Amino acid sequence: MPELPEVETTRRGIAPAVVQQRIVDVKVRERRLRIPLTPDTERAVLGQWIQAVERRGKYLLIALERGVVLVHLGMSGSLRLVAVDTPPRRHDHVDLVLGNGRCLRFHDPRRFGLVHWIESPAEAHPLLCHLGPEPLSEQFDGQVLYQRAAKRRCAVKTLIMDSRVVVGVGNIYANEALFLAGIDPRRAAREVSIEQYQALAERIRQVLSAAIEQGGTTLRDFVREDGNPGYFAQALRVYGRDQKPCVICGAPIVQTRIAQRATYFCTQCQH
């Protein structure tokens, strides 16, 4: 699913329709999410006005008058805006029914995602308080990566996917950014130079920004708030391209596994 660009695409899609709306009903069809959805969430949320829709890493924060609804899309989740009378489909677990006759509907076949109400301040919540900087903010650069890499023998790919180091970089965009930066994903994090980390940080920002502009990457599950896919999949240079020619040098892209995750790279272009 959803890495940062898909979550940001969802945020931008739903915000105009839900901000300044009142939650007039909450329908829960499945409580067994990553965090079980308890009745106090419904009780707390009902009748409140939505103030804003923000994002922290891959979490969506629906800010209410009192507290915040945290939404995470896990691997297979999506949020859609539908008319109130739209019949639910399989795996449509939660509806927030709004005063304007629309409904924010959470769908997640694998149930790795969550919908969870918390009291403010959200930043202090255990799910959010250890998160690293936002990759598209001023707080993030090559220096941050280099410092955090200091004692770490894990692969550089694993480092940039660690949400305590930087948020939002999932498996697809980690592969893509390392390709664009010309860095072998298997390299030990502490062996990578500051110059290379500066290039890598720049490429992470670039690939995430480009993906947001395209509405994210749809491989199978992800849909935008209007039910349409994102279009960045066609721009992927290495992810999913095992044995296909490198777009730079033509050598076959190689697939391997790093920390249990599919990893794609060009042995000619990445060192």
Partner DNA sequence: CACAAGACCTGGCAGC
Partner DNA sequence: TGCTGCCAGGTCTTGT
Catalytic sites, residue numbers: 2-3, 58, 261
> What residue ranges in the chain does DSSP mark as E strands?
23-28, 50-56, 59-64, 68-72, 78-83, 92-98, 102-107, 114-118, 254-258, 261-265
Question: Which of positions 214-253 make contact with DNA (CB under 7 A)?
Answer: 216-222
Q: Is 9 in the site for DNA (CB under 7 A)?
A: no
Q: Which is nearer to DNA, 57 or 67 (CB)?
A: 57
**Smallest distance, Å, CB 215 to DNA?**
11
Angle at 44 between CA 39 and CA 50, to 5 degrees: 130
**Smallest distance, Å, CB 74 to DNA?**
5
- Which part of the chain contacts DNA (CB under 7 A), choosing from 48-56, 107-115, 136-144, 198-206? 107-115
Rounded to whole angstroms, how far apart are CA atoms 13 and 7?
10
Q: Is 171 in the site for DNA (CB under 7 A)?
A: yes
- Taking the CA atoms of 150, 156, 160 and 164 in sequence, report the sign of the dihedral they define: negative
Rounded to whole angstroms, how far apart are CA atoms 28 and 224?
21
Tokens of residue 52, six digits: 């804003």
Q: Which is nearer to DNA, 103 or 172 (CB)?
A: 172
- Which part of the chain contacts DNA (CB under 7 A), choosing from 21-29, 72-80, 98-106, 197-205? 72-80
Rounded to whole angstroms, how far apart are CA atoms 133 and 74?
20
Residue numbers at the binding site for DNA (CB under 7 A): 1-3, 6, 32, 34, 57-58, 72, 74-76, 90-91, 109-112, 127, 151-154, 158, 161, 163, 170-172, 189, 216-222, 259-262
